[in-house]
Amino acid sequence: MATCPSCDADLDFDEFEVDEDEIISCGECNASLRVASTSPLELEVLDDDEDDDDDEEDEEEEEEDDDEDEDEEDADDEEGLDE
């Protein structure tokens, strides 16, 4: 009989029914347990961090580039180029 490495509760599964690398969960503490090895049976508690706030949005406001290049034609600059 295997026991939960997290809360020491008796786990309700047969160690011969699980495969290596299988993820089971403890019915008592809801920990996710990975079967690290089947003989002997070794269970590994997985971090069940659901508060994984890796979603930090880097909202760097760019300075608005309002520098419109108004290329106004210098009209009538060719005045008086008469012979």
Is 4 a binder of Zn ion (CB under 5 A)? yes
- The stretch near Zn ion (CB under 5 A) out of 20-28, 35-43, 53-61, 64-72 is 20-28
CB closer to Zn ion out of 31 and 80:
31
Q: At 32, list the tokens.
A: 């996710």
CB closer to Zn ion out of 4 and 24:
4
Residues 26-55 that bind Zn ion (CB under 5 A): 26, 28-29, 31
Q: At 77, list the tokens.
A: 């600059």
Helix, strand, coil content of the chain in percent (nearest 5):
0, 20, 80
What is the bridge-based pairing of β-strands 41-46 and 23-25? Answer: unpaired
Q: Which of 6, 25, 32, 38 binds Zn ion (CB under 5 A)?
A: 6
**Tokens 């020491």 label which residue?**
8
Contacting residues toward Zn ion, per CB under 5 A: 4, 6-7, 9, 26, 28-29, 31
